[in-house]
């Protein structure tokens, strides 16, 4: 059975209506996948992502499906509703893209705060390991945020980097010193885990036909809410209006700017591991803020 036939079958089974493609066109939708809008014979449209080497990333679309379903259930922020998935594809609702409205940044901040407020949990982690880009992201459940962030976030990225370089690399030496200080840096915040998007940068956020926020391509887990803003600040696109609107609903605790810089480091290290040494100096600079 061809890939198209498998996708048509999955849509048929998920929706209870026969699915037959009659047209498609390419569309932006994540830098690691082929993304298309398809039109069915009955006029329905879906957004479909496929990956030519999905077998190298087992479960990548099932992880995304689960995260999108959880985000959708909150009703806090619009995400493309997941319809079906397989080893090589995921099918999502297709929304009409529009220009960001005048209040897009404030809406985004408020909706993120509502998402976090509605998803408070008891442990850090996720039901399965998933992916940050194409980097496997461990999510074993933990009662301790400091342990989770040390072992499954910063420590994990440092371990991946160590596999590419020698143990005497200055970045790894700085990393060891930083890991030893995590309790001091993060220990003053006692907040519940919340459901994070996990990879929220400008390329994973847009506007619908009403100019309101849509977010997609999550790398979700239950974590400390300030961690959401590490990636949001790394490449910009959200800014102070978004953060101010967020804090109108749920203010951060004192010292949040320093902690968000630490959360940004996780994504800097991931880019170092994915894309190479152009990110090396930014990782070093961020570490030197703390050690």
pLDDT at position 54, please? 84
pLDDT at position 30, please? 54
Euclidean distance between CA atoms 68 and 84, whole angstroms: 11
> Looking at the predicted structure, is the pLDDT value of residue 1 above 90?
no
pLDDT at position 92, please? 97
Going by the DSSP 8-state scheme, the letter that residue 78 receives in this structure is B
- Can you give the pTM of this predicted structure? 0.95
Residues annotated as part of the active site: 199
Euclidean distance between CA atoms 35 and 261, whole angstroms: 32
pLDDT at position 31, please? 56
Sequence-ordered strand ranges (E) for the chain: 21-26, 34-40, 45-50, 82-86, 89-93, 130-132, 135-137, 194-196, 205-207, 213-215, 221-223
Q: pLDDT digit string (tens) for 254-285?
A: 999 999 999 999 999 999 999 999 999 999 99
Are the C-beta atoms of 90 and 61 separated by less than 8 Å?
Answer: yes
pLDDT at position 28, please? 67
23: left (phi over 0), alpha (psi -120 to 50) or beta: beta
Mean pLDDT of 93-100: 92
* Confidence at 61, pLDDT banded by 50, 70, 90: very high
* Buried/exposed 40-65: b ≥16 CB within 10 Å, e otherwise: beeeeebbbbbbeebeebebbbebbb
Give how far the C-alpha of residue 155 lies from the chain's centroid of Cα atoms, to the nearest Å.
19
pLDDT at position 27, please? 75
If 0-12 CB within 10 Å is exposed, 13-18 middle and 19+ buried, where does residue 99 land? exposed
> Looking at the predicted structure, is the pLDDT value of residue 162 above 80?
yes
Q: Determine the 3-state secondary structure of 169 from DSSP.
A: coil
Give how far the C-alpha of residue 250 lies from the chain's centroid of Cα atoms, to the nearest Å.
21
Mean pLDDT of 80-84: 97
Provide DSSP, 90-130: EEEE---B-PPPTTHHHHHHHHHHHHHHHT--SSBB-SS-E
How many degrees, rounded to 5, is the angle at CA 258 between CA 118 and CA 239?
65
pLDDT at position 180, please? 97
Q: From the CA atom positions of the chain, what is the Rg in Å?
A: 20
Q: pLDDT digit string (tens) for 207-248?
A: 999 999 999 999 999 999 999 999 999 998 999 999 999 999
Q: pLDDT digit string (tens) for 18-42?
A: 999 999 888 765 556 788 999 999 9
Q: How does the average pLDDT of the chain come out, rounded?
A: 95
Element (H, E) at 32: none
């Amino acid at each position: 059975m061809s890939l198209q036939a498998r996708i048509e079958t999955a849509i048929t089974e998920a929706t209870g209506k026969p699915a037959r493609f009659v047209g498609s066109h390419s569309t932006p939708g994540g830098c690691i996948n082929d993304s298309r809008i398809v039109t069915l014979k009955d006029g329905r449209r879906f957004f479909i992502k496929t990956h030519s080497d999905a077998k190298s990333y087992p479960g990548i679309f099932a992880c995304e499906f689960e995260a999108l379903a959880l985000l959708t259930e909150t009703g806090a922020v619009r995400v493309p509703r997941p319809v079906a998935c397989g080893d090589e594809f995921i099918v999502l609702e297709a929304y009409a893209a529009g220009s960001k409205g005048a209040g897009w940044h404030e809406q985004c901040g408020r909706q993120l705060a509502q998402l976090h407020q509605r998803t408070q949990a008891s442990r850090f982690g996720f039901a399965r390991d998933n992916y940050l880009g194409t980097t496997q992201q461990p999510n074993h459940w933990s009662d301790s945020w400091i342990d989770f962030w040390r072992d499954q976030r910063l420590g994990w990225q440092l371990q991946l980097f160590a596999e590419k370089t020698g143990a005497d690399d200055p970045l790894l030496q700085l990393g060891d010193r930083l890991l030893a200080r995590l309790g001091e840096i993060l220990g003053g915040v006692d907040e519940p885990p919340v459901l994070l998007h996990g990879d929220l940068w400008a390329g994973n956020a847009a506007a619908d036909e009403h100019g309101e926020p849509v977010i997609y391509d999550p790398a979700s887990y239950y974590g400390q809410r300030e961690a959401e803003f590490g990636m949001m600040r790394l490449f910009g696109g959200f800014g102070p209006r978004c953060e101010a609107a967020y804090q109108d609903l749920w203010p951060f605790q004192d010292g949040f700017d320093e902690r968000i810089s630490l959360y940004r480091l996780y994504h800097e290290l991931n880019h170092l591991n994915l894309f190479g040494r152009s990110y090396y100096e930014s990782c070093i600079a961020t570490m030197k803020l703390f050690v």
